[in-house]
C-alpha cells in the first residue's frame, strides 16, 4: 500500500444538537473522536456533508459527516467519494448496530444493511457493497420498547462512561486497517474488550 493512498471514513448519524449523543449517531461520534484526537476541524463542504482531514498510520484519511438525515446519507457519502477520487474499496462506513451488544464492534466488507436504513441508503447510492462497514453495537431496546425511541435515545450513564474507550479502540482499529489491512484490523477490533 502506497503512503499517498487516501481513505474515507464516513460516520452515519443525524445532524443537529438534538441527536448529538444518541445511539443512532455512533458513527458521527467516532469521526468526531478521530478529528479531535488528531486536531482536525470539520468544515462544511456544500450542502451534503462536513469534512475533516487527518493522517492515520501515515496515510491521509478524509472524515465525512453527511448533513442529511441518516436514512438519506448515501448520496452525501457517494458525493464525497467522487469529490476526493477515492475508490469504494477504501471507504469505511461507521454505523450503529442493534444486532450486537454495546461494546461489540465488527468490521466487514460487504453484507446487507440488516434493517439499517442508513446502510441501505449507502448501498443504493453506491450501487455496490464492496466498501467496509464498521458496526458499533448498541444493543436492543428493552422488551416491548420502541426501536425508534431506542436508537434516537441517548446512551445510558454507564455506556457514556465507557464510550470514550470504545471510540478510541475503534480509532486504533482504523489505524490498523489503513496500515495493515482488514484482517489485522478485524483481529484487533473483534477480540478486544471495551
Catalytic positions, please? 24
- Angle between helix axes 157-180 and 182-191 (nearest 10 degrees) is 160
For residues 107 and 19, give the distance between their C-alpha atoms in angstroms, rounded to a whole number: 24
69 is in an annotated binding site: yes
Which residue has 479531535 as its cell numbers? 36
* 150 assigned to a ligand binding site: no
128 strand-pairing partners: none
What is the CA angle 138-142-148, rounded to 5? 65
Residues 6 or more apart whose Cβ sits within 8 Å of residue 157: none
Cα–Cα distance for residue pair 32/157, rounded to 1 Å: 20
Known binding-site positions for tRNA: 19, 69, 71
Amino acid at each position: 500500500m502506497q503512503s499517498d493512498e487516501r481513505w474515507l471514513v464516513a460516520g452515519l448519524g443525524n445532524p443537529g444538537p438534538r441527536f448529538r449523543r444518541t445511539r443512532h449517531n455512533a458513527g458521527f461520534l467516532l469521526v468526531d473522536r478521530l478529528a479531535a484526537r488528531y486536531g482536525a476541524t470539520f468544515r462544511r463542504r456544500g450542502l451534503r456533508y462536513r469534512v475533516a482531514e487527518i493522517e492515520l498510520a501515515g496515510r491521509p484519511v478524509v472524515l465525512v459527516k453527511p448533513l442529511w438525515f441518516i436514512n438519506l446519507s448515501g448520496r452525501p457519502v457517494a458525493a464525497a467519494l467522487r469529490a476526493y477520487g477515492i475508490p469504494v474499496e477504501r471507504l469505511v462506513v461507521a454505523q450503529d448496530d442493534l444486532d450486537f451488544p454495546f461494546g461489540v464492534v465488527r468490521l466487514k466488507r460487504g453484507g446487507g444493511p440488516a434493517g439499517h436504513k442508513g446502510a441501505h441508503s449507502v448501498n443504493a447510492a453506491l450501487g455496490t457493497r464492496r466498501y467496509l462497514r464498521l458496526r458499533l453495537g448498541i444493543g436492543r431496546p428493552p422488551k416491548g420498547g420502541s426501536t425508534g425511541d431506542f436508537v434516537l435515545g441517548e446512551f445510558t450513564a454507564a455506556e457514556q462512561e465507557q464510550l470514550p474507550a470504545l471510540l478510541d479502540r475503534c480509532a486504533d482499529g482504523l489505524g490498523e486497517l489503513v496500515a495493515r489491512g482488514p484482517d489485522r484490523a478485524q483481529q484487533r477490533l473483534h477480540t478486544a474488550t471495551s
